[in-house]
Structure 1
């Protein structure tokens, strides 16, 4: 979210909330929210994204069952304790439906705007991850940047009944082994099928090297331009497919068979209303996977 057409920069967020309610009611598994702190003429996405914590709070209050996932909070440009507080808040409002996805950001000028050195992003990512992971674990532990000798110990409220899952979105400049060791899963972008199978094989090998026998999720973000003709074959577009719903079902079956556990559908609503696409996918595609 938000679900927009190409080059759309003005978004009706009341309509976005309505679409979220619809997706929740129809059985989609998750709503994903991006973190885009600043816009510029050099950044290809013109959409004025809401602050992710504000939008996640609204989604938590307007949905009942669907998971809420940040895809992804820019870990390097936010203090990890602020991120942890936001995660606790959304998880409480949603009654345990929140998954915290984090990334490193990829725009050097944006780093400069926040007083960060982009050459240090790998170290920043690891350091902030350590503090964040400790804060959202069970039991929660606050790692202070510094602590005077006479200071009391800090803790985070409201208390949680379970740890909040921490998901790596992209690589954050880290090795696959590091991600497998520290994250409950890895979310990556769409690639052609053979390349994606190789990516998954690399992921499974890293999991077996670092945490043998553990489950670690593998997810893919895929752009979807759903045609009116249900029998339209899948054709490649940037980061996804233009297709009818029957071929989409076949694509998703093949992705599941090759190791993908979760797919985000980045819906292109340029030619068809987003509501129609959501309803068609729910009617014909979801039953194949959500029995």
Structure 2
């Protein structure tokens, strides 16, 4: 199995003290954590994108540029690039620039995003989010793979002889599709032979399982090479301690604070995937995707979910309100005590020698 650290760059205040991390410090921590992840042998580091709410990831390409300059080995990715909101011309230009700066260490995950407020903020119709996603994806794929592109679409002006610069470092970088609540993303990925990443963060396992199963069925139905039907999975947060009981007790205020912040948004209860289905830390640990516990218990849980999902990539996130030294300790223990246990049991060709679509600049040990 491969492993990724994801930072959506949430920045709400501390749930107990009410203190807020200054934006400059929070953004600096993203870079520092990516550098540490590389040193610890984590395969990939992903940056989120949101344009509303208590987040600082409105400019993920700027952050990824800083990461490209600060690292040399780790794969860089997104989680997710909210392609429904974006001009594919700029996406092609910006991400090809990052691909060049990193010398071929880029892949991206695209999606329509999980923040409804982004659409009116940017003058777009929320009801057309899937239309935007499909059209923008198809145009982006053309721009990355061809020059002198001819294009006629529904939601943007036509293109005639369009070539975006710079070109990607070594041909088009791989595009994954983020899947959280609907089958649209998995169908789009399967139709084009791309991999998917399941959010696996807020809902019961079976809600994500049905989408992963559909992806594999549709991928096969479209006749694509099964060797590239890679699946990634998120998680409901990562926190480690010597025992699972200690981890639950220590993480409780952070988990309860996150649930309370979600409740403040007053989401429609019928809006699946907007708030967690697990109201207590005990529920999240026992029945949900939260990776909270001893290293051994967290490894067991990843393997248990792998038995359901068969995923190749495990993505984890660490709560930003922990003290920086504590964040580093959790990441270090994960890399040194959890990852080896999982890798001993789960093998994958993703990003290895057999993966012909592997990023040209990715040099992690196999």
Which of these residues, 177, 186, 191, is aligned with residue 196 of structure 2? 186
- Mapped partners of 2:165, 2:49: distance in 1: 23
Structure 2 unaligned regions, length at least 5: 1-6, 15-19, 152-156, 249-281, 345-366
Q: 1:121 maps to what in 2?
A: 129
- Per the TM alignment, residue 110 of structure 1 is displaced from its structure 2 partner at its CA by 2.5
Which of these residues, 164, 174, 179, is aligned with residue 165 of structure 1? 174
Q: Give matches, 1:67-216, under 5 Å.
A: 67-137=75-145, 139-140=146-147, 142-144=149-151, 145-147=157-159, 153-160=161-168, 161-170=170-179, 174=184, 176-182=186-192, 184-190=194-200, 191-214=203-226, 215-216=228-229
Once the two structures are overlaid, the 10-residue window that deviates more, 183-192 or 227-236, is 227-236
Conservation of the 8 A alpha-carbon contact between 2:12 and 2:55: no
Q: 2:336 maps to what in 1?
A: 283
Which of these residues, 284, 287, 290, is aligned with residue 240 of structure 1? 290
- Mapped partners of 2:8, 2:119: distance in 1: 24
TM-score (normalised: structure 2): 0.68
Residues 239 and 135 of structure 1: CA distance in aligned 2, closer, same or farther (over 3 Å): same
- Mapped partners of 2:139, 2:55: distance in 1: 31
Conservation of the 8 A alpha-carbon contact between 2:144 and 2:167: no
Aligned residues: 280
Is the partner of 2:164 in helix, strand or coil? coil
Conservation of the 8 A alpha-carbon contact between 2:111 and 2:178: yes
Conservation of the 8 A alpha-carbon contact between 2:82 and 2:110: yes
- Mapped partners of 2:167, 2:75: distance in 1: 20
Residues 257 and 179 of structure 1: CA distance in aligned 2, closer, same or farther (over 3 Å): same
- Kindly indicate whether residue 305 of structure 2 is the aligned counterpart of residue 261 of structure 1: no
Is the partner of 1:167 in helix, strand or coil? strand
- Kindly indicate whether residue 71 of structure 2 is the aligned counterpart of residue 59 of structure 1: no
